[in-house]
Amino acid sequence: MVSTKDVEQPLAKPEGETVTPPAGLPTVKENDQGIPEISIDGAPAPTALVAQDLIKGKGAEIKATDQVVVNYVGVTQSDGKKFDSSYDAGKPATFPLSGVYKGWEQGLPGKTVGSRVLLVIPAALGNPDPSKGPQGDLVFVVDILGVK
């Protein structure tokens, strides 16, 4: 049995050192509610997975087998339209890292709790099932708030 003291309380928002990403990636700004907004203007379609820290957290390192607590926003690379956001639900999402897009499975292990990560995912590592969302290249901002 796991006691409540064995599970850390997730963070409310990313906490850590701000990182300046290299040029050529989609840009991210927070709106007045603190929700990240992604702009794909001028960013080329990805040829490989990019997992760029925007904020480098100081918490535990994520493992591929972890269940993560995250807030996220996802847009399609082709037109920049938002297709999914845990912020819209008003609370973080919790799920096993092994149960999401391959781009998440490959891009988030090694990142740390407290981080905000920009994931630029080529179609081959994106959504394999057209009935469950958009196809093609995808861009996410993922705030890693905790692990379970």
In a domain, 2, yes or no: no
CATH number of 131's domain:
3.10.50.40
Count: domains in the chain: 1
In which band, very low, low, confident or very high, does the pLDDT at 25 lie, cut at 50, 70 and 90? very high
For residue 139, being part of any structural domain is answered with yes
Domain-located, residue 6: no
User: Is residue 48 one of the residues assigned to a domain?
Assistant: yes
User: Per-residue pLDDT tens for 43-89?
Assistant: 998 999 999 999 999 999 999 999 999 999 999 999 999 999 999 99
Both tokens assigned to 24: 């050529």
Q: Which range has the worst mean pLDDT, 7-16, 70-79, 133-142? A: 7-16
Q: Tell me whether strands 27-30 and 16-18 are parallel, antiparallel or unpaired.
A: unpaired
Residue 20: pLDDT above 70?
Answer: yes
The residue range of the domain holding 60 is 11-147
Distance CA 114, CA 60 (A): 9
Q: What CA–CA distance (Å, rounded) separates 96 from 36?
A: 23
Establish if 5 belongs to a structural domain: no
Q: Is residue 133 part of a domain?
A: yes
Residue 3 resides in a domain: no
Q: Looking at the domain assignment, is residue 123 inside a domain?
A: yes
Which residues lie closer than 8 Å to 52 by C-beta, 6 or more apart? 19, 21, 22, 25, 117, 118, 120
